[in-house]
Amino acid sequence: MKFRAKIVDAACLNQFTRVSNMIAKLAKTCTLRINPDKLNFILNDKLASGGVSMWCELEQENFFSEFQMEGVSAENNEIYLELTSENLSRALKTAQNARTLKIKLTNKHFPCLTVSVELLSVSNSSRIVTHDIPIKVIPRKLWKDLQEPAVPDSDVSIYLPVLKTMRSVVEKMKNISSHLVIEANLNGELNLKIETELVCVTTHFKDLGNPPLASENTSQGRNPEEMAEVHIDIRKLLQFLAGQQVNPTKALCNIVNNRIVHFDLLHEDVSLQYFIPALS
C-alpha cells in the first residue's frame, strides 16, 4: 500500500484545509478512502453517531499536483484509513502560508499519515514542519459498510435557505427543545418546528425553490402544498450546520416522510452528503 500526494497551489491548499476543518466539525473519527481518482471522507458508524452518516467526495486532480497511490491489491486498488479528523485539520492549519504540502502514508512505529509542510519564513529560509498522524488501516472485509449511501427516493426535494440563518435559528431552538421537525413542500416552503408543553416555535422559510428533478419524479398526484416531515435530534442538525463555515455553492435537502432527511451540498468542487434519520 502506498500513497503520496503533493499540493503546490495556495488556493487548493486553502480549500483542502477548509474541507478538513469541516470534516473535523462533522465527525470526530472518520474514514479516509483513497483511490486513483478521488478522496472520500466517510462516516458510517451507525451505532456511534446515532444513525448519522456522511459522504464527502473530492476529485484528487482538482487539488494535487502530484498523486500516486497503490491500493491493497490490483483488483482492490483502494486504501481505507481511519483517523481522528481533528489531527488532520490541526496539521493543515500550520500550512497556512506554505510553499508546498506533501501527504504520504508512512510507518514509523505505527502506520501514519505524514503531513509535511514547507514554509517560507520572513528571512527567506525555508522551514520544514512535519506531523505524523496515527491512523488505522481498515481491512477489506469492512469496506462494504463504507460505500456511498444510496440517495433515497424522496417525497420532497427543496433548496436550502442561507445556512448561517438556519444555524442561528436552530441554535436558539436548541435551548428550548432537544428535537425538531423539519418539513418542506414542493412549493418552495420549508419550516423548522419545535414544540414543548409550554411553547411552540416555528420558523418559516419561503420562496426557496425546488430542484426540477424532484418535481418530475414525484407522482403527479402530490399536492405541492403538502409537507413532508421528519422528526430529528436537534443536536445532529446543529452539528451539521456548524460544520458549514462557508455558504455552499449549492445546497438542497431531500425529505423522506418520517424516515430520513438527506442534505446534499456542493462547496465549489467538493460534494458533501449528510443523512440524519428520524427519531424512533
Partner 1 sequence: TAAMLKCEMNGSQVKVFGKAIQALSRVSDELWLDPSEKGLALRSMNSSRSAYGCVLFSPVFFQHYQWSTSMKMNDDDRPLNLNCKLGMKSILPIFRCLTSLERNVEKCKIFTRSDKCKVVIQFFCRHGIKRTHNVCFQESQPLQVIFEKNMCNNTLMIQPRLLAEAIVLFTSSQEEVTLAVTPLNVCLKSSSEESMDLTNSVYSEMSVDPDEFDFFQIGLDTEITFCFKELKGMLTFSEAVHVPISIHFDFPGKPMALSIDDMLLEANFILATLADDRSRASSPQSLCLSQTQKRSDLIQSNPKADKSGTSQAPECISRKTAPKRLYSRETPTNNSAGTCGNPPTRRANGASIFEVPESSLSDTDEGPGSPYLRKFSCMFFGAVSSDQQEHSNHPLDSLAIASDSEEDVINGSVSF
Q: Does 87 bind partner 1 (CB under 8 A)?
A: yes
Q: How far is the CB of 126 from partner 1 (least distance, A)?
A: 8
Q: Which residue has the cell 423522506?
A: 256
Closer residue to partner 1 (CB): 127 or 140: 127
166 contributes a contact to partner 1 by CB under 8 A: no
Q: Could you tell me the sign of the dihedral formed by the alpha carbons of 16, 17, 22, 26, in that order?
A: positive
Q: Which residue has the cell 444555524?
A: 167
Residue selected from 35, 84, 239, 257 as contacting partner 1 according to rule CB under 8 A:
84
SS3 165: helix
Cβ neighbours around 51 below 10 Å, total: 18
Q: How many CB atoms lie within 10 A of CB 219?
A: 6
Determine if 48 is a binding residue for partner 1 (CB under 8 A): no
Whether residue 11 contacts residue 98, with contact meaning beta carbons closer than 8 Å, is answered with no
* Total number of residues that touch partner 1 (CB under 8 A): 21
Give the phi and the psi of residue 271 in degrees, each rounded to 5: -100, 145
- Given candidates 47, 74, 125, 199, which one binds partner 1 under the rule CB under 8 A? 125
Q: Quick check: 92 binds partner 1 (CB under 8 A)?
A: no
In angstroms, what is the minimal distance from the CB of 194 to partner 1? Answer: 35
Contact between 128 and partner 1 by CB under 8 A: the answer reads yes
Half-sphere exposure of 82 (CA within 13 A, CB side): 13
107 binds partner 1 per the rule CB under 8 A:
no
Q: How many CB atoms lie within 10 A of CB 128?
A: 10
- Only one of the segments 18-26, 123-131, 226-234, 268-276 lies at the binding site for partner 1 (rule: CB under 8 A); that segment is 123-131
252 near partner 1 (CB under 8 A) = no
Binding of residue 134 to partner 1 (CB under 8 A): yes
List, in sequence order, every residue forming a beta bridge with 34; answer none if it has no partner: 39, 79
Q: Assess 111 for contact with partner 1 (CB under 8 A).
A: no
Helix (H, G, I), strand (E, B) or coil at 111: strand
Q: Does 131 bind partner 1 (CB under 8 A)?
A: yes
Q: Does 90 bind partner 1 (CB under 8 A)?
A: yes
3-state secondary structure of 158: strand
- Which residues lie near partner 1 (CB under 8 A)? 84, 87, 90-91, 93-94, 108, 112, 119, 121, 123, 125-134
